[in-house]
Amino acid sequence: MPRSRVRAGRWVALLAAISLLGAIGAPAASAQQDEEFPAVDQPGVTDDEIRVGGIITEEGSPTGAQLSSAFDGVKAYFEYINKTEGGVYGRELVLSSERDDRLGNNRSEVEGLLAQDDVFAALPIAVQLFAGADLLADEGIPTFGWNIQSEWGSEDNKPGPESFFGQTGSFICFTCAQPRTELWMAKHLKRDKVGVLAFAVPQSEGCAVGIENSFEEYPTADVVFSDKSIQFGNPDYSAQVARMKEEGVDLVLACIDGNGAVNLARELQKQQVDADMVLPNMYNHELVEENAEVLEGKYLFTTFAPFETKPKPEGLKLYDEWIKKTDGRTDENSMVGWINADQFVEGLKAAGPDFTREKVVDAINAMTDYDAKGLLPGIDWTTAHEDDPDCYAALQIQDGKFKPVFGKKGQPFICFPEDLKQIPAKPATA
């Protein structure tokens, strides 16, 4: 059986920067400031700075997703390290290049990043189409980003590039059968008839095929309805909902964007279909608050400890503090940028003061339990380019707000190792 982990972002490949207003406070005292470090002959590295550059999709985004907030997360983390630790090896961390690929220009923007911007690493990469991925991989440049495209990993079950580090691992297989959270939810919620919907685009279709394959391999419920021909932007789901009602669907899994999911939920309510629903890419506080009534009781997942986690892990406390200090946006993509920056810095520190791109890549790939100070369930980078367990933090929408469910206090993630033969009644937590 092909094995992989498909991220929460997998459901919509179409989905899905504020500059710092000035220095915040005086640099904190650091042992590094009085220490001499060796010269480093690497792109983007001077005696005073380590420069990185990122690419996002903003203009031309068909969903209007605010992916530029990934820049906010990187800036906030760099400010935290620069102010409290004096940077890394006596050098300040600088996000010196912020590119927008405007959806269709990803390859040319990657070429510009490599040829013109003089950066040591690529981060954050928060794009909707990743056409320039092979250029970054061929260069061996450490690359950190939002891994929602197959370019981060492989559709044919081959390992992804060793220099790519997605926020929760770097392998993605849309169509693979695997023990996944939705299968356990069907079992836990005692739902036995599943409806699957997807847009008529490859990655959305692939998501639906993966759901179908997984239920076939781990039959906790039957997929009794599937429509993978929906056109993006479709506001009318009346025909699909009528069919699901006829088939007795009681669990809806939709590989569509957030606005589409709202329209679908509204139609389910209109036709009085009593079904649970798992929402894609819906960790959007404003959208959920605006549509609280129609989204009541719906479920979603995050790949990181959600903002509502109690008690908050150290990483979430730091994110809250520094995203506010730097006037950044608090949302999913700024969190992804923060995690990308933390992973990069941990790689620099592990590589040593005479760091190179190759040493940073090798150092990260030797890490066996990277958790971003409690924001993640733990990534084993010795295997994360080819597979890793399915771990998500589950939330339910209640009164227009998100409530963590299914996990335990201080352990928000429910996890399903890839070698499972059947879906357990009680999953592991992390």
Mean pLDDT of 166-187: 88
Evaluate whether 302 touches 332 at the Cβ level (below 8 Å): yes
pLDDT at residue 22 tops 70: no
**pLDDT for res 157:** 61
- Mean pLDDT over each residue of the chain, to the nearest integer: 89
More confident residue, 152 or 272: 272
**pLDDT for res 232:** 83
**pLDDT for res 233:** 81
Token pair recorded at residue 2: 């092909």
**Residue range 227-255, pLDDT digits in tens:** 999 998 888 999 999 999 999 999 999 99
Evaluate whether 159 touches 177 at the Cβ level (below 8 Å): no
Q: Which long-range contacts (CB under 8 A, 24 or more apart) does 103-112 make?
A: 103/57, 103/59, 103/60, 103/61, 103/62, 103/128, 103/129, 104/60, 104/129, 106/55, 106/57, 106/130, 106/131, 106/132, 107/131, 107/132, 107/135, 108/132, 109/55, 110/55, 110/135, 110/136, 111/135
Number of H helices, E strands in the chain: 12, 14
Rounded Cα–Cα distance for residues 422 and 90 (Å): 51
**pLDDT for res 171:** 78
pLDDT at residue 156 tops 80: no
pLDDT at residue 5 tops 80: no
pLDDT at residue 20 tops 50: no
pLDDT > 90: percent of the chain: 73
Domain 181-307+390-429 in CATH 3.65.10.10: no
**pLDDT for res 201:** 84
Mean pLDDT of 192-196: 97
**pLDDT for res 9:** 38
pLDDT at residue 25 tops 50: no
> What is the pLDDT confidence band of residue 90, given thresholds at 50, 70 and 90?
very high
CB atoms within 10 A of CB 18: 15
pLDDT at residue 29 tops 50: no
> What is the pLDDT confidence band of residue 155, given thresholds at 50, 70 and 90?
low
Rounded Cα–Cα distance for residues 273 and 261 (Å): 15
Mean pLDDT of 320-347: 97
Longest dimension (CA), the chain: 73
pLDDT at residue 2 tops 70: no
* CATH topology match: 8-173+310-364 vs 181-307+390-429: yes
**pLDDT for res 16:** 36
b (16+ CB within 10 A) / e for 118-129: ebbbbbbbbbbb
pLDDT at residue 141 tops 60: yes
> What is the pLDDT confidence band of residue 19, given thresholds at 50, 70 and 90?
very low
**Residue range 357-399, pLDDT digits in tens:** 999 999 999 999 999 999 999 999 999 998 767 899 999 999 9
pLDDT at residue 316 tops 50: yes
pLDDT at residue 203 tops 70: yes
Fold for the domain defined by 8-173+310-364 = Rossmann fold (3.40.50)
**pLDDT for res 366:** 98
Domain layout of the chain by residue ranges: 8-173+310-364, 181-307+390-429
**pLDDT for res 305:** 97
**pLDDT for res 27:** 41
| Residues with Cβ within 8 Å of residue 301, at least 6 apart in sequence | 8, 181, 278, 392, 393, 394, 395
> What is the pLDDT confidence band of residue 35, given thresholds at 50, 70 and 90?
confident
pLDDT > 70: percent of the chain: 89
